[in-house]
Amino acid sequence: MLKKANCRTAGSTNRTISISKTNLVCGVLLLGCSAAWAGGPKKLSQDLSSLDPNAEVKVIVQWKGTPDEAKHQRVKKHGGHLRSTLASIKAGAYSVPATALSSLADDPDVQYISADRPLKGSLDNSVAAVNASAAWKAGWNGAGITVAVIDSGINTPADLDSNGSLGPGPRVLYSQDFVEGKGDGKDKYGHGTHVAGIIAATGKSSNCGQCTRKFVGVAPGAKLVNLRVLDENGNGTDSDVIVAIEQAIALKDKYNIRVINLSLGRPVYESYTQDPLCQAVEAAWKTGIVVVVAAGNDGRDNLYGNQGYGTIMAPGNDPYVITVGAMRSMGTPDRSDDLIASYSSKGPTQIDHVAKPDLVAPGNQVVSVLAPDVTLSKEYPGNAVQNSYYQAGRHGASKNFFTLSGTSMATPVVSAAVADLLQVKPSLTPDQVKVLLMESAYKTFPVFSNAVDPANGENYVSYYDLFTVGAGYLDLKAALASLNQVPTGGQALSPVANYDASTGYVSLRYDPSSVWADRSVWGARSVWGADAVWSSSVLSGDQVVWGAQAPWGQSDDSADRSVWGADSVAGVRSVWGARSVWGARSVWGAGGGIAAESITVNGDQ
């Protein structure tokens, strides 16, 4: 079963929001701590518990101090060898015989051992929906800001080459390949190029006499750093992503890297406090880099009766980073008709129960730059944009643009918006950027909506609560208008959600380690207060989401099988259960891993 872990900081108070079926109650209480497995933190991640004893396994060993040659030699004595040093998280990536893991874990200097898990990667209407044109009209397009794209690589077709109309010099300042070592960072999958286009495409290929639409990135003046970690099938590993994050930190000052875009993820296996991938994104955040991460595309998953709740992917489960869900722009530039994408992963996070996502942004059927002759364009030729969509009198499939859907596509929209804001006010800290975007987010939503999967015709119902839409829909114009009101310090860690089965209340609890103390960045009496960041409509869904007919309502027909219930259809594998939905025997199993955010190729209809 779950138990509370030791607090990072004791003796501080924090604001709390409690939500019942009918009302919203504010109070003050001591922070509850993140959940950890009973018996205290284990040194071996649970996905290492059922290995072939004859196998050699790739692992990440987090040490209590900075790894040095003496520590590497200790691993060598167990039959292992060093693959790479991960200094930012005091760790190393090693290959070790499975039979040696237990004895290695007994080393008093070893903090935690986890598998080096595989990982996957997850504009015209998008730009209009987030009010990006307001930034452009004011002269803000991300110029001077660099975004590190940690993905499948970036190719440089016309819209990402050095001949853009928004300034001289190369668009991609630096490339490094962590998949093939000495490779050139070229995109063989197609995902990274698409992501890069959403951020910084200049619109060159859609700027013509017969063009009726222009596909421009949200920050067309921004520069890019290309760090390739995903192969031609969109797969990668924790250690490659961590090394890429470390390289972004190392290059931060040289190229003015202020944002890292991670349109990738994998299942959650342990608390974010132990997860090496989460520790790496925190390290980047603390150096002043805003880290923007995809929520995941598992919002339709109902295998355990959770209605898609509890499906946020790592490292989007970390409370520091900005975690992004996906909206549908409905084929129009007007955001008032936009709806949540049914596949967008929902919170709370597994194990720690952090309230995620933080924001939502356009991610369904997004048009961006096509990387020709790569895996995605070959496997899904039907996703090539038709020339007639943006050129009068032209027919056939475009060689320049491609359509993809997923939180992978929503993430770079937010990364680009961050670049625009940082151009205006370079002194903003990552925490200031996060709270600014969350407080200013558009918060007008319906109670629920329906979406149809075009592949099988199945209908999905989505409710607009804080675990589905976070603090709301990205609004760049509103964020720009609030720049001069942003707090001058403090942290903006996403709160933890607590469910009390005896009362039916859900409480949001905030980390008291913030230097703001009583003037917390989420303080109720502040312009940035919790009531402003998470509006009553997002929190309570007009008493539908939290009410008797809610997915987890106490009086719901499924009652004991609700997402919160200890006796749910998933039993102890419910969101709050000891062996959660992502447990070792879950749908993901021990092999689920990092990838290019399991792309929803056709999106919602």
Q: Give me the active site residues, please.
A: 151, 191, 408
Kindly write down the DSSP assignment for every residue of 435-454, as one continuous string. Answer: HHHHHTSB----SEEEEE-T
Sign of the CA dihedral 234, 236, 241, 244?
negative
Tokens of 406: 């997923």
Spatial separation of the C-alpha atoms in residues 271 and 314, rounded to whole Å = 10
Check: CB of residue 48 under 8 Å from CB of residue 115: yes
In one-letter notation, the amino acid at residue 51 is: L
Q: Are strands 257-262 and 290-294 parallel, antiparallel or unpaired?
A: parallel
How many CB atoms neighbour CB 144 within 10 A? Answer: 15
Token code pair at residue 468: 């589905």
DSSP strand E in 169-244: where?
Answer: 172-177, 223-228, 235-237
At a CB cut-off of 8 Å and minimum separation 6, what does 93 contact? 58, 59, 60, 82, 83, 84, 85, 86, 116, 239, 242
User: Using alpha carbons only, how large is the chain's radius of gyration in Å?
Assistant: 23
Burial string for 367-385 (b: 16+ CB within 10 Å, else e) reads bbbbbeebbbbeebeebbb
AA letter at 539 = L
Please say whether the dihedral angle defined by the alpha carbons of residues 519, 525, 527 and 529, taken in this order, is positive or negative. positive
CA distance linking residue 576 with residue 583, whole number of Å: 12
The two tokens of residue 65 are 């101090």
Backbone angles phi, psi at 443, to 5 degrees: -120, 20
> Residue with structure tokens 């989460």?
278
Q: What phi and psi values does residue 524 have, to the nearest 5 degrees?
A: -65, -25
Q: Evaluate the CA torsion angle 31, 34, 37, 40 in order and state its sign.
A: negative
395, burial (CB in 10 Å: exposed 0-12, middle 13-18, buried 19+): exposed
71 vs 42: CA distance, rounded Å: 20
- Both tokens of residue 584? 């070792």
Torsions phi, psi of 461, nearest 5?
-105, 130
Residue 80 dihedral angles phi and psi, to the nearest 5°: -100, 175
Q: Which of 224, 220, 259, 223 is nearest to 140 (CA)?
A: 220
What backbone phi and psi angles, to 5 degrees, belong to 378? -80, -40
